[in-house]
Chain A
Amino acid sequence: MFAATLGGGVFAAEAQRLPAPKSGIAYAGADIRAMQADDFANPGMLWVARGEKLWNTAAGRSNKSCAACHRDAASSMKGIAAGYPRIDVASGKLVNIEGRINRCRERNQSADPLQYESEELLALTAYVAHQSRGMPLAVTADAANRPHLERGREIYYRRQGQMNLACVNCHEQNAGRKLLAETISEGHGNAYPAYRLEWQATGSLHRRLRACYYGVRAVMPAYGSDELLDLELYLARRAAGLTVETPGVRR
């Protein structure tokens, strides 16, 4: 066991991929599963519907909509979210779907970036990610994103906060067990942006991650910060094989 951990150091970011990851929906009750499975009852679809409208609405000084370049999202965005976060070639920075949308707004639409966690950005992100629903997460590891993957892994295993807990303590070592009334899931991000009943709204993966930071009484990183992006990348790699569920429904 110890030797395996040491040996894993060579390909540190690769070592801890779960043999058979289980989506958070597998840990949810029958009512939540039914709500997610029914595209009309799933409240997250309201955000997807709003995102579709925004997709076709002109924005910025260019007066171009997303659809003006990308056309029908059902084909142009199919599978895209499954490969994110990824390195933005122009800037060399790691971006998730939210970041990709904002960069596209600035470069191609001459529009102001949308505020993280705003209704508009959530709706567009949900709409884009929804086009990949059912497709397996397929984030590749390469020389460019390896430093981010390493940092994400380091954060995942780092004990922090007044509770002195790392992600792995709950979401791997105690997955499937109870934390008060909740069943602890494996902590995969494949359903985000997701509708959480606790929020009574759709929220981003970063909002969910911040909630965990809050739970262990650690300092919450800012929305869209490098720390959360690196963690998001590691989580996507760790969840390889799971399919995109956006918009998921969670407690």
Chain B
Amino acid sequence: MLARIEVPRQARRGEIILLRIAIQHPMETGYRPDNFGRRIAKNVINNLVCRYNGVEVFRAEMGSGMSANPLLQFHALAEASGEFVFEWVDDSGERGSERAAITVSA
């Protein structure tokens, strides 16, 4: 699953940083019929987790009300150098992940 993430490469300790992720996904609601009138199965990214050096800092549980190709953004407190890891899974069981390193100075 294709995704883009935006994590600052550098930050000062105690700084509030903005994290963004955009994922290419149809976010199929389960309410739409196809051209033959058959219902298209619901398939949305139902769970997304972001961990900062192993500690969960953000979690989103999504349903059929989300647009396709969702963009999520949130803030975190820069505490130590390390890595942000984003992981998510959709209803079909397909998983995706992205990671980015950050250097935190005193």
B69 touches A200 (CB 8 A): yes
* Known contacts A40-B4, A40-B6; A46/B22 CB under 8 A: yes
Is A171 an interface residue, CB under 8 A from the partner? Answer: no
Instruction: Let me know if B26 and A43 touch, CB within 8 A.
Output: no
A49 touches B4 (CB 8 A): yes
**A43 CA to B25 CA, complexed, in Å:** 11
Q: Chain B, 58-89, contact with A by CB distance < 8 Å: what is the 0/1 string?
A: 00000000011101000000000000000000
Given contacts A40-B4, A40-B6, A200-B26, contact A46 B20 (CB under 8 A): no
Cross-chain contact of A43 among B6, B20, B71 (Cβ < 8 A): B71
Is the Cβ of B4 less than 8 Å from the Cβ of A201? no
Contact of A40 with B24 at beta-carbon distance under 8 Å, contacts A46-B2, A49-B4, A200-B67 already known = no
**Chain A contacts for B26, CB-based, 8 A:** 200-201
**Is A45 an interface position by the 8 A CB rule?**
yes
Q: Which residues of B contact A53 (CB under 8 A)?
A: 2
- Say yes or no: A46-B69 contact (C-beta < 8 A), given A40-B20, A200-B26: yes
Residue total for A at the interface (Cβ-Cβ under 8 A): 11
Chain B positions within 8 Å of A46 at CB level: 2-4, 22-24, 69
Q: Answer whether residue A208 sits at the interface, using C-beta atoms and an 8 A cutoff.
A: no
In Å, the complex CA distance between A156 and B29 comes to 38
The answer to whether A41 and B68 touch (CB under 8 A), given A49-B4, A50-B24, is: no
Min Cβ gap B44→A in Å is 13
Q: Residues of A contacting B20 with CB < 8 Å?
A: 40
Q: Which residues of B contact A41 (CB under 8 A)?
A: 22, 71
Residues from chain B with a CB closer than 8 A to the CB of A201 are: 26, 68-69
A98 to B6 alpha-carbon distance, docked (Å):
30
Q: Chain A nearest CB: distance from B96 CB in Å?
A: 12
Residues of A17-48 whose CB lies within 8 A of B: 40-41, 43, 45-47
Measured between beta carbons, the chain B residues less than 8 angstroms from A49 are 2, 4
A226 shortest CB reach to chain B, Å: 26
Nearest chain-A residue to B69 (Cβ)?
Answer: A43
Q: How far is the CA of A49 from the CA of B2 in the complex (A)?
A: 8
Chain B residue with Cβ nearest A42? B22
B58 to chain A minimum Cβ distance, whole angstroms, is 17
Known: A40-B22, A43-B71. 7 other contacts (CB 8 A): A40-B20, A43-B22, A49-B4, A200-B26, A200-B27, A200-B67, A200-B68
A-B contacts, 17 of them at CB < 8 A, read: A40-B4, A40-B6, A41-B22, A41-B71, A43-B24, A43-B71, A46-B2, A46-B3, A46-B4, A46-B22, A46-B23, A49-B2, A49-B4, A53-B2, A200-B68, A200-B69, A201-B26
